[in-house]
């Protein structure tokens, strides 16, 4: 969703904030704005469109100032226009504020403020915050930070907020609830704030993650950073060391982050299982959940909650855990689970999967499960994220920052963790023999090299992409654990190239979608060797009989499908359980090339945002 950056210190704030906004642009990119305190003035610059639009516009002015706040927006209330862009400013031009999240009761607050004479310029929910703070500050005769603290008692919803005031040129105030905010402690007595650590890492590695309902007051004249809860009790900041490296945030010579992240997968999968398995000694262990293994084995059921690509990984996890550890697993869309009064109690273990660790629906699903007594576990990529902090335990995927909005390496890392989890539980429960475990671990260890071999087919995949780049529809089919791969392939295509695509279990095709098939319909089929191979071949025949075009992902050396398919893409042989880790890669590359050929913005597809912090 939206991205927040702020700086307070001795440096010129504008370039720091602007650079930070560029790093955060993957979170939201429909408009951007900055506000700076400069020689007693509050300067505000806002522009619809990309951060580069804002940069071009603001660069016409001579901007200086040592306190600055900046925002990239992903519109929720009101169109992406200059006026709706943040920061929003109080009517007297004193206070400026940026916000990520949603103020659910903004309508009633807005009406109340209008009754008191406030005039709103924008259609946003955020503008109520700045007027409310101004109103409280004037009525209660308190400084804007105290007014902000009081204002939060009236607000229902989610927020990460940063505010500055012309009347306090050395202070900056921030608060969070259900939207991430991290404070970087600079080396020159200065401070950085951002929605995630990416704008901060090049200046400092010392950070403090704000917790829900915490307020950070930074006063350059009075001890720097102080933390409070909204009840005004002071809290001790917990300073953590960032492990993020700057190179992970750069494109490193690739044309797009998405391509870089696709190519990082041999390393990210390796990083994910490094230290968590030993093939020679024949063990696998996820330290993060070790204490909960018995609970998982004895659980009534494991419920996986997630959204989007992470939900697809959850479906692969269901196959893996049920097959290997024989434990009942259900996979739920977090957004559905949270609103349908699910039957859940202390005998259940609920596992959230989330790259960002901030997805609002997934967080809410976990909170609901916790309130009903379930054990809650997390599989997250972003260290220190909200989900990783509210769960009882969990495992990080260690894929490194994923900047491309379309998830790639996070998916394969999530599947890797789920494979490790399935094997850990199977080992503990005794549903896998030692020799089968040994074979599976060796196979898992060989995956990074096999992914490298799949990546070598990039040229071939690009040529296939060129043939299908102009289609309007596409179908993706798979059976067993390749069905979620089909879903993921279809999602990748639609989200970055805007081609309508559907993923289906191959056998379901004849119950409806087959009506769509004609000579213009490409059908991408995962047809690797395994239990359902013959059945998938029959499904391919059914498509061919209706003149559909078949692009099949097959096991190296396959001759049978090659004879009937229009195109084949080979992947190395592997254990059937692990096929999703390899079969996903060509589908990522296909979507990538098609989107590039259609001149779509691959890293920042329209209407999307990386971290969905609104429901």
Q: Which residues are part of the catalytic machinery? A: 2, 610
Residue 196 makes contact with ligand F6R by CB under 6 A:
no
According to CB under 6 A, which residues from 595 to 614 bind ligand F6R? 611-612
According to CB under 6 A, which residues from 308 to 327 bind ligand F6R? 308-310
Shortest distance, position 163 Cβ to ligand F6R, whole Å: 27
Stretch that binds ligand F6R, among 264-272, 322-330, 353-361, 443-451 (CB under 6 A): 353-361
Is 178 or 611 the residue whose CB approaches ligand F6R more closely?
Answer: 611
Q: Is 234 exposed, middle or buried (0-12, 13-18, 19+ CB in 10 A)?
A: exposed
Site string for ligand F6R, 518-547 (x = CB under 6 A): ------------------------------
Is 388 or 407 the residue whose CB approaches ligand F6R more closely?
Answer: 407
Site string for ligand F6R, 480-519 (x = CB under 6 A): -----------x---x------------------------
* CB-facing half-sphere around the CA of 553: CA atoms within 13 A: 31
Is 204 or 309 the residue whose CB approaches ligand F6R more closely?
Answer: 309
Give which of 458, 420, 462, 449 is closest to 577, Cα–Cα.
Answer: 420
Is 539 or 611 the residue whose CB approaches ligand F6R more closely?
Answer: 611
The residue with its CB nearest to ligand F6R is: 308
Angle of helix 409-429 relative to helix 434-455, nearest 10 degrees, comes to 170
Shortest distance, position 42 Cβ to ligand F6R, whole Å: 35
Stretch that binds ligand F6R, among 47-55, 242-250, 354-362, 474-482 (CB under 6 A): 354-362
Residue 407 makes contact with ligand F6R by CB under 6 A:
yes
Give which of 212, 214, 242 is closest to 228, Cα–Cα.
Answer: 214
Three state DSSP letters for 268-317: HHHHHHCCCEECCCCEECCHHHHHHHHHHHHCCCEEEEECHHHHHHHHHH
Site string for ligand F6R, 41-80 (x = CB under 6 A): ----------------------------------------
Q: In angstroms, what CA-CA distances link 377 with 353, 494, 571, 584?
A: 9, 31, 33, 26
Stretch that binds ligand F6R, among 85-93, 159-167, 307-315, 461-469 (CB under 6 A): 307-315
Q: Give the dihedral sign, CA 159/164/168/169.
A: positive
Shortest distance, position 477 Cβ to ligand F6R, whole Å: 20
For residues 123 and 113, the answer to whether their CB atoms sit within 8 Å is no
Residue 406 makes contact with ligand F6R by CB under 6 A:
yes
Residue 412 makes contact with ligand F6R by CB under 6 A:
no
Residue 406, token pair as written in the block: 């379309």
Shortest distance, position 69 Cβ to ligand F6R, whole Å: 25
Is 72 or 310 the residue whose CB approaches ligand F6R more closely?
Answer: 310
DSSP 105-133: THHHHHHHHHHTT----SS-STHHHHHHH
d(CA 217, CA 236): 12
Is 528 or 613 the residue whose CB approaches ligand F6R more closely?
Answer: 613
| CB neighbours of residue 141 within 10 Å | 9
Give which of 29, 34, 40 is closest to 15, Cα–Cα.
Answer: 34
Residues contacting ligand F6R: total by CB under 6 A: 15
Shortest distance, position 468 Cβ to ligand F6R, whole Å: 20
For residues 530 and 480, the answer to whether their CB atoms sit within 8 Å is yes
For residues 286 and 395, the answer to whether their CB atoms sit within 8 Å is yes
Shortest distance, position 610 Cβ to ligand F6R, whole Å: 7
Stretch that binds ligand F6R, among 351-359, 502-510, 536-544, 574-582 (CB under 6 A): 351-359
Is 307 or 501 the residue whose CB approaches ligand F6R more closely?
Answer: 307
Residue 204 makes contact with ligand F6R by CB under 6 A:
no
| Residue the block writes with tokens 């002071």 | 234
Q: Which residues contact 339 (CB under 8 A, 6 or more apart)?
A: none
d(CA 257, CA 238): 32
Q: Which residues contact 561 (CB under 8 A, 6 or more apart)?
A: 527, 537, 540, 552, 554, 568
For residue 87, cis peptide bond before it (omega within 30 degrees of 0): yes
Shortest distance, position 384 Cβ to ligand F6R, whole Å: 14
Residue 355 makes contact with ligand F6R by CB under 6 A:
yes
DSSP class of 25: G
For residues 465 and 522, the answer to whether their CB atoms sit within 8 Å is no
Shortest distance, position 507 Cβ to ligand F6R, whole Å: 25
Shortest distance, position 309 Cβ to ligand F6R, whole Å: 3
d(CA 81, CA 426): 54
According to CB under 6 A, which residues from 246 to 305 bind ligand F6R? none
Q: Is 52 exposed, middle or buried (0-12, 13-18, 19+ CB in 10 A)?
A: middle
Residue 182, token pair as written in the block: 């991290």
Q: Is 557 exposed, middle or buried (0-12, 13-18, 19+ CB in 10 A)?
A: exposed
Residue 395 makes contact with ligand F6R by CB under 6 A:
no
d(CA 181, CA 3): 10
Is 359 or 395 the residue whose CB approaches ligand F6R more closely?
Answer: 359
Is 135 or 407 the residue whose CB approaches ligand F6R more closely?
Answer: 407
Residue 165 makes contact with ligand F6R by CB under 6 A:
no
DSSP class of 322: H
Shortest distance, position 522 Cβ to ligand F6R, whole Å: 20
Residue 354 makes contact with ligand F6R by CB under 6 A:
yes
Shortest distance, position 300 Cβ to ligand F6R, whole Å: 25
Give which of 147, 12, 145, 4 is closest to 67, Cα–Cα.
Answer: 12
According to CB under 6 A, which residues from 358 to 387 bind ligand F6R? 359, 362
User: Binding residue for ligand F6R (CB under 6 A) from 307, 331, 417, 523?
Assistant: 307
* CA-CA-CA-CA dihedral for 211, 337, 349, 613, to nearest 10: -20
Is 369 or 537 the residue whose CB approaches ligand F6R more closely?
Answer: 369
Interacting residues with ligand F6R (CB under 6 A): 307-310, 354-356, 359, 362, 406-407, 491, 495, 611-612
């Amino acid at each position: 969703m939206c991205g927040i950056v702020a700086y307070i210190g001795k440096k010129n704030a504008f370039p720091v904030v602007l650079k930070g906004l560029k790093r955060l642009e993957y979170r939201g990119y429909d408009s951007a704005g900055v506000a700076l305190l400069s020689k007693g003035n509050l300067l505000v610059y806002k522009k619809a469109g990309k951060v580069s639009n804002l940069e071009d516009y603001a660069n016409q002015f001579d901007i200086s100032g040592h306190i600055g706040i900046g925002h990239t927006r992903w519109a929720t209330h009101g169109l992406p226009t200059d006026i709706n862009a943040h920061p929003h400013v109080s009517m007297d031009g004193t206070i400026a504020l940026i916000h990520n999240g949603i103020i659910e009761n903004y309508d009633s607050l807005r009406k109340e403020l209008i009754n008191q004479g406030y005039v709103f310029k924008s259609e946003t929910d955020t503008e109520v915050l700045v007027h409310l703070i101004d109103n409280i500050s004037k009525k209660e005769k308190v400084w804007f930070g105290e007014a902000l603290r009081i204002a939060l008692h009236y607000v229902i919803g989610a927020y990460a907020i940063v505010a500055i005031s012309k009347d306090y040129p050395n202070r900056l105030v921030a608060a969070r609830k259900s939207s991430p905010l991290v404070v970087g402690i600079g080396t020159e007595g200065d401070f950085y704030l951002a929605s995630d650590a990416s704008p901060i890492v090049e200046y400092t590695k010392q950070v403090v993650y704000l917790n829900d309902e915490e307020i950070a007051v930074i006063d350059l004249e009075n001890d720097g950073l102080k933390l409070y809860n909204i009840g005004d009790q002071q809290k001790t900041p917990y300073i953590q060391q960032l492990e993020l490296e700057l190179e992970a945030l750069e494109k490193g010579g690739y044309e797009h982050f998405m391509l870089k992240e696709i190519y990082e997968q041999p390393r990210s999968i390796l990083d994910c299982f490094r230290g968590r398995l030993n093939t020679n000694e024949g063990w696998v262990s996820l330290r993060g959940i070790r204490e909960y293994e018995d609970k998982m084995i004895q659980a009534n059921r494991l419920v996986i909650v997630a959204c989007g690509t992470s939900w697809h990984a959850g479906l692969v996890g269901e196959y893996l855990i049920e097959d290997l550890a024989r434990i009942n697993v259900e996979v739920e869309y977090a957004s559905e689970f949270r609103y349908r009064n699910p039957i859940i109690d202390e005998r259940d273990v609920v596992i959230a999967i989330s790259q960002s660790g901030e997805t609002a629906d997934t967080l809410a699903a976990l909170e609901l499960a916790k309130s009903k007594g379930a054990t809650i576990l997390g599989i997250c990529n972003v260290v220190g994220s909200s989900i990783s902090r509210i769960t009882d335990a969990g495992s990080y995927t260690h894929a490194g920052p994923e900047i491309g909005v379309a998830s790639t390496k996070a998916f394969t890392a999530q599947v890797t963790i789920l494979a490790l989890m399935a094997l850990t539980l199977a080992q503990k429960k005794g549903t896998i023999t030692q020799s089968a475990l040994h074979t599976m671990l060796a196979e898992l260890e060989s995956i990074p090299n096999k992914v490298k071999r799949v990546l070598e087919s990039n040229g071939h995949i690009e040529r296939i992409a060129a043939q299908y780049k102009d289609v309007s529809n596409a179908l993706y089919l798979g059976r067993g654990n390749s069905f979620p791969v089909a879903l993921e392939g279809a999602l990748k295509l639609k989200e970055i190239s805007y081609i309508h695509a559907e993923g289906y279990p191959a056998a379901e095709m004849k119950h409806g979608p087959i009506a769509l098939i004609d000579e213009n319909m490409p059908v991408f089929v995962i047809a690797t060797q395994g239990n359902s191979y013959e059945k998938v071949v029959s499904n391919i025949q059914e498509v061919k009989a209706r003149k559909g075009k078949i692009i099949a992902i097959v096991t190296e050396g396959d001759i049978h499908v090659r004879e009937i398919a229009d195109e084949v893409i080979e992947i190395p042989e592997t254990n059937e359980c692990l096929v999703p880790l390899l079969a996903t890669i060509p589908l990522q590359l296909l979507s990538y090339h098609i989107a590039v050929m259609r001149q779509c913005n691959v890293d920042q597809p329209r209407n999307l945002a990386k971290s969905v912090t609104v429901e």
